[in-house]
């Protein structure tokens, strides 16, 4: 083969420079395939890259990411749900990330991604250990960004990305202290410190403020939780009309809000809003979820529950005390004191819509 003829399969004796560029080209092709939601195609490119550069940290990280995408595909597609296949993908991803951690360089060449993904794949104190490693590398990256002289937009964008990744990692650690590690003696203090660091690292991160709101709610500080929720939503949510709720305790929304948080974060947001009886806001967020995925049973259940609450809770404010045992239905401990006082006509409309949502929930949940 002449040197002018392009080679898509470099020979084993190719020069180091040729191999490096070929590996980068394969990584680029794999990333494009992942962006286009073709993880199996991406895996083919990455296996070739791995064959010629078996200790390349970015190839190993990309292989792990690809396996996680395949794992999520198995979990999300009910028609092809295969728990064994999903578990195999998770184990393969973990192996690749552990190899990437072993092969990662130091200093400016050190990667943080593998630690963050290992944190996602782990639980409890092991997850915290992995996240701490990722946070350590991210903090060094941030220090380098801050030490560099003011420069290009690319440099500013790099610092912005590092800040968001750092904020997300710290928020994930705080969530672990609220769940898996909530029984540790210093769990609340650790959570308090981590949420502060997360919102300081990137004050424009809606998910960091959402985690802070969740912590405030667990501390029985609803007013502070509402303030954090307002800050979080103001960063991305644009009210459909100029008559936005005046209950916001934070500053005015930015003129150009950032993209909305990921779907799972908005599901969690709705749950917190409902627990705080902020039904109008919950309904607005639910509409964004419906636009993105109108076949999610959890979203339809929350939709129905929100409308039911907007119709007056279970039976309005004047319910008899004999009905108190029905309150066990509500995960958030709903009581008549949280019921919305509405006119009969409004109640009928809200409950009719709630009934439709629950019927849709049953259809998407149980009808194949």
The model's pLDDT over 234-284, given as tens digits with 9 standing for 90+, comes to 999 987 654 444 444 444 444 556 889 999 999 999 999 999 999 999 999
Distance CA 34, CA 36 (A): 5
Q: Which pLDDT band, with edges at 50, 70 and 90, does 20 fall under? A: very low
pLDDT tens digits, 131-182: 999 999 999 999 998 888 777 778 888 999 999 999 999 999 999 999 999 9
Q: Are 104 and 111 in contact (CB under 8 A)?
A: yes
pLDDT at 80: 53
Measured between alpha carbons, how far is 310 from 354 in angstroms, rounded to an integer?
A: 9
Whole-number pLDDT of residue 223:
96
| Residue 187: per-residue pLDDT | 96
What DSSP string describes 174-220?
Answer: HHHHHTTTTTSTTHHHHHHHHHHHHHHH-TT-HHHHHHHHHHHHHTT
DSSP 8-state secondary structure symbol assigned to residue 10: -
Structure confidence at residue 347 (pLDDT) = 76
With both helix axes pointing from N to C terminus, report the angle between 279-292 and 297-310 in degrees, rounded to the nearest 10.
150
Residues 303-313 have a mean pLDDT of 86
Structural contact between residues 328 and 289, judged by C-beta atoms closer than 8 angstroms = no
pLDDT band at 332 (very low <50, low <70, confident <90, very high): very low
Q: What CA–CA distance (Å, rounded) separates 5 from 334?
A: 71
The angle, 0 to 180 degrees and rounded to 10, between the axes of the packed helices 39-52 and 16-35 is 170
Q: What is the CA radius of gyration of the chain?
A: 24
Could you give the percent of the chain with pLDDT greater than 70? 77
Beta strands in the chain (DSSP E): none
Supply 272's token pair.
């917190």
In whole angstroms, how far apart are CA 300 and each of 10, 116, 154, 167, 258? 52, 31, 41, 30, 26
Helix (H, G, I), strand (E, B) or coil at 41: helix
Average pLDDT score over residue span 326-355: 59
Q: Which domains does the chain carry?
A: 260-316+333-368 (1.25.40)
> What is the rounded distance in angstroms from the CA atom of residue 46 to the CA atom of residue 34?
11
d(Cα 164, Cα 211) in Å, to the nearest integer? 14
Q: Tell whether the model's pLDDT for residue 103 goes beyond 50.
A: yes
């Amino acid at each position: 083969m002449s040197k002018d003829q392009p080679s898509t399969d470099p020979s084993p004796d190719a020069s180091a420079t040729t191999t490096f560029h070929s590996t980068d080209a394969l990584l680029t092709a794999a990333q494009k395939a992942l962006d286009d939601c073709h993880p199996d195609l991406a895996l083919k490119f990455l296996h070739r890259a791995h064959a010629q550069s078996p200790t390349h940290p970015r190839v190993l990280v990309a292989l792990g990411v690809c396996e996680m995408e395949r794992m999520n595909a198995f979990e999300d597609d009910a028609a092809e749900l295969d728990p064994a296949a999903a578990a195999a993908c998770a184990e393969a991803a973990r192996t690749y990330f552990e190899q990437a951690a072993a092969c990662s360089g130091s200093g400016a060449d050190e990667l943080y991604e593998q630690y963050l993904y290992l944190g996602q794949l782990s639980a409890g104190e092991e997850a915290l250990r992995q996240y701490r490693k990722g946070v350590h590398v991210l903090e060094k990256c941030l220090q380098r960004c801050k030490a560099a002289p003011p420069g290009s937009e690319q440099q500013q964008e790099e610092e912005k990305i590092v800040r968001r990744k750092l904020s997300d990692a710290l928020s994930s650690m705080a969530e672990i202290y609220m769940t898996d590690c909530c029984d540790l003696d210093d769990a609340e203090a650790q959570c308090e410190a981590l949420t502060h660091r997360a919102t300081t690292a990137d004050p424009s991160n809606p998910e960091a403020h959402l985690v802070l709101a969740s912590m405030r709610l667990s501390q029985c500080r609803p007013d502070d939780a509402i303030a954090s929720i307002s800050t979080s939503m103001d960063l991305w949510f644009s009210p459909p009309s100029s008559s936005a709720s005046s209950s916001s305790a934070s500053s005015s929304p930015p003129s150009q809000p950032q993209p909305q948080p990921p779907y799972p974060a908005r599901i969690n947001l709705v749950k917190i809003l409902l627990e705080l009886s902020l039904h109008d806001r919950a309904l607005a967020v639910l509409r964004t979820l419906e636009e993105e995925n109108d076949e999610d049973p959890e979203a339809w259940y929350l939709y129905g529950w929100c409308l039911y609450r907007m119709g007056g809770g279970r039976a309005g404010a004047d319910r008899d005390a004999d009905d108190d045992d029905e309150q066990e239905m509500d995960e958030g401990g709903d009581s008549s004191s949280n019921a919305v006082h509405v006119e009969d006509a409004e109640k009928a409309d809200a409950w009719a819509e709630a009934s439709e949502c629950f019927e849709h929930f049953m259809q998407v949940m149980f009808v194949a």
